[in-house]
Structure 1
């Protein structure tokens, strides 16, 4: 049996059925209902052409929510399923491949089984996906062009498939990006939207980009080590949420520096341990007469690299170096 459902058959559920199906995967959508969806991991229920008018649905696990009284059905497909596509009509139509649970205790279909099957859409000029039966989960839409058949080349698989898989996880888990823009179920639910973490705001009924709580700022005024030819007046640095701002106020105690053509890199000093940028960064330097750039290396060492041509950074002049960067 390739499609298994746990807690569906009145008798005969095996231990293997229970192990293979995702029992316990529940993201609530209400007091007694759960978010139906595909479990992430690998490429669950992947669709692949298997013939002119046949699509193969790969293995995977899912949770299918029935009515509130029914609860969620854990389902697993442990071998690929082939789904036949009916011949095209006079107009285009869209069919939907679904996972469906039949439960004789709650419906009138006369069987108790889980299946992968096709729901055929209505042919029309601008076709839309069909309405789905209860206790089912959409996987893929298939656009069937007018007149499509095995003898006319079949379904145009290069453009026919639309991914309808939605995902579900255990309560508290982060839902991967799926094919639908579902609303959230509870305040504080998280999802990954194309690499951006979003949090459901139940009050505003909207997904919001998650921003961590503002971290307390950290400030220091010491720890800057000056190089030869410099003395420290004041040093102030502040860091908040990984953003560093600092200002070093120094006095030139060595010889005069000027840049008639190219100022040789001159070592100024080192930032305190843990306050360096992740990669080399250019900072602003000025003494009120001239200005230039100072390179802050990833090892915290700072070098004066350029200065205003023709302007002397003289002995006893005060110079400030300031920068803001993300660590």
Structure 2
């Protein structure tokens, strides 16, 4: 008898039995019961679950590897720790002449107090299925831990090749860990027993929220790594590291940059105006107007930077006129005017009556009191101080930097 158990035998439990079964693994199922399952681990640390692994060792025989497990009885019966300290070989009956069948391999606990079997022990057993056109595995007996389903085809026997071990095994093993431990998921995914319970799904750490297993980053507000970037967001405001290395925030309908911007637009095409009131169109510039849209950040404030190279030329025959070229930005939100253009907010290039070369001017201004998440449009406006002066603007640009 290789499979050893504790607190089953009425007499004769050895110290060795007790030592082998000091498991301490009780993954809760409910307030009274725990999950039946196998303690995880392997000799070299490469595998999550090696205990009670089964493989074909002869035509009709298989070997069940050593391991430790828990078998939960009915509520009043408690949980039975079992240990298989050495591998055990089991032999399957020959296949039916006409139909295939599905057998069930279990770790079964016999407890005479509850089953009147006259036995108090644990065994690795085969529960033989019923042959049929569409065979199914038999039900798991009481106080048993299902390990494998084995398909035994019609006519299978030691004399004609036996069981095809490469295709006939269905692994039913599931792991258990100590209370509060992180459960490595193998086999079926079972519901959690309490909010805050953790499990490792193999690709992500998950937390039970009371109704579902939620990826750990979304459960606790952490940043989802780009290795798990295909996970569905769980709530508005969740963050993730995108594949491109950009921090993103879930808006409720889409992933958007967590810190949008900077936003930028420019025109390297020169154009001029002689208008003394602000206009958006420059003569000889191919593309008008110069605009930029941006989304207001949660801080409701941005830094607006704009500028241009300004040159001023007098009309032919005109002398002695001091002149100035102004560039300013109008701010709108849809059809609503947020900030109008005015000279006090403009950048300007000036020259006296004597001609001078053009030069570049720029300014940075703070826009605050915006509506977070709203889209704003910036439009560049230009004017000259005199209708006899061509105010030229070249290398114009607009830039917006959201503030944290």
What is residue 93 of structure 2 aligned with on the other side?
86
Kept after mapping to 1: 8 A contact 2:52/2:147: yes
Kept after mapping to 2: 8 A contact 1:22/1:76: no
Shift of residue 322, structure 1, vs aligned partner:
7.4
Relative distance call for 1:288 and 1:86 in structure 2 (3 A) is farther
Aligned: 1:53 with 2:60: yes
What is residue 117 of structure 2 aligned with on the other side?
109
What is residue 138 of structure 2 aligned with on the other side?
130
CA RMSD of aligned residues (A): 3.1
Q: Describe the SS at the equivalent of 1:106.
A: helix
Shift of residue 114, structure 1, vs aligned partner:
0.6
What is residue 298 of structure 1 aligned with on the other side?
none
Q: Describe the SS at the equivalent of 2:122.
A: strand
Relative distance call for 1:28 and 1:132 in structure 2 (3 A) is same
TM-score, structure 2 as length reference: 0.54
What is residue 215 of structure 2 aligned with on the other side?
209
Shift of residue 184, structure 1, vs aligned partner:
2.3
User: Take 1:181 and 1:96, find their aligned partners in 2: how far apart are those partners?
Assistant: 20
Cα displacement string for residues 68-127 of structure 1 (whole angstroms, at most 9, x for unaligned residues): 111001110000111111110121111111101001111121101111111111112222
Kept after mapping to 2: 8 A contact 1:173/1:190: yes
User: Take 2:101 and 2:194, find their aligned partners in 1: how far apart are those partners?
Assistant: 36
Q: Describe the SS at the equivalent of 1:191.
A: strand
Aligned: 1:169 with 2:177: yes
Relative distance call for 1:288 and 1:128 in structure 2 (3 A) is farther
Q: Describe the SS at the equivalent of 2:220.
A: coil
Q: Any gaps of 5 or more consecutive residues in structure 1?
A: 217-239, 250-285, 290-313
Name which of 63, 68, 78 aligns with 1:71: 78
Relative distance call for 1:35 and 1:22 in structure 2 (3 A) is farther
TM-score, structure 1 as length reference: 0.66
Relative distance call for 1:11 and 1:248 in structure 2 (3 A) is same
What is residue 271 of structure 1 aligned with on the other side?
none
